Amino acid sequence: MKRLHGKTMLITGASSGFGRGIALACAEEGADLALVGRDEGRLSEVAEAARSQGGRAVVCVADIGDEAQVYAAVERARAALGRIDVLVNNAGMNVTQRSIADTSADQWRQLLNVNLTAAFLFTKALLPEMIAREAGTIINVASRAALHPHLAGGVGYSTSKQGMDALTQVTNEEANRHGVRACLLCPGVGNTPLLDRRPTPPPPEQRLKMLQPEDLGAVVVLVASMPARVNIELVSMLPTRL
């Protein structure tokens, strides 16, 4: 039997990059998916690829920087799939400006809203029902910046990812006793569209040495498929040869 057979998952930022890789890996292992993002066309392509594996996939178009749209996406997912067993808070963004001096207050607020507040809102929407049925997994895709904040990632991005660490730890403190677990997944540099927001984007040959979306997919499948007694609280990933 496939490792995620019978599981329903909500994945944010599922239209490209790590989110797409996570979605396709989980579909291949039998999961039914609610795919959240802003680009309906690209989400539909991912959904079609997921359905080709034999499962269900529903597109939930939302700007996760908007609280009302977060809750609407959750309701759309519930209506289509029923209970949500696994939440993957993957969506994230960055800006070209990285220093305190160059980052505007509006950019700071946008980064925290998309990268951290949205994860809190999806958790807030789904955690009570997970606790009620004493089962559920939340996977927060952060960054190595959550463990080692740095100027290359930027002040707003690093702060938002450290916040994901705190959210994960508090979720576990609140919910572990009810059989619900949370994992902080901290990938190093990955071959995703975020690279194009760097002041100097890396060349193609360097991107091939980075973590790839399917690498994140494999780890999410592992975390989500572990027996309920096991909580993998932290995963740190780095490219081997970069």
Which one from 157, 158, 167, 181 is the annotated catalytic residue?
A: 157
Residue 209 is which amino acid?
Answer: K
Q: Which of 109, 105, 106, 110 is CA-nearest to residue 93? A: 110
Closest by CA position to 57, among listed 74, 24, 32: 32
- Both structure tokens of 106: 């509006």
Q: CA end-to-end span of the chain, whole Å?
A: 36
Beta strands in the chain (DSSP E): 8-12, 32-37, 57-61, 86-89, 136-141, 180-187, 234-237
Residues 173 and 167: their CA atoms lie apart, in Å, by 10
Q: Is 77 exposed, middle or buried (0-12, 13-18, 19+ CB in 10 A)?
A: buried
Angle, helices 118-133/155-175, rounded to nearest 10 degrees: 10
Could you give the maximum distance between any two Cα atoms of the chain, in Å? 54
Active-site residue flag, 157: yes
List the catalytic residues.
Answer: 157
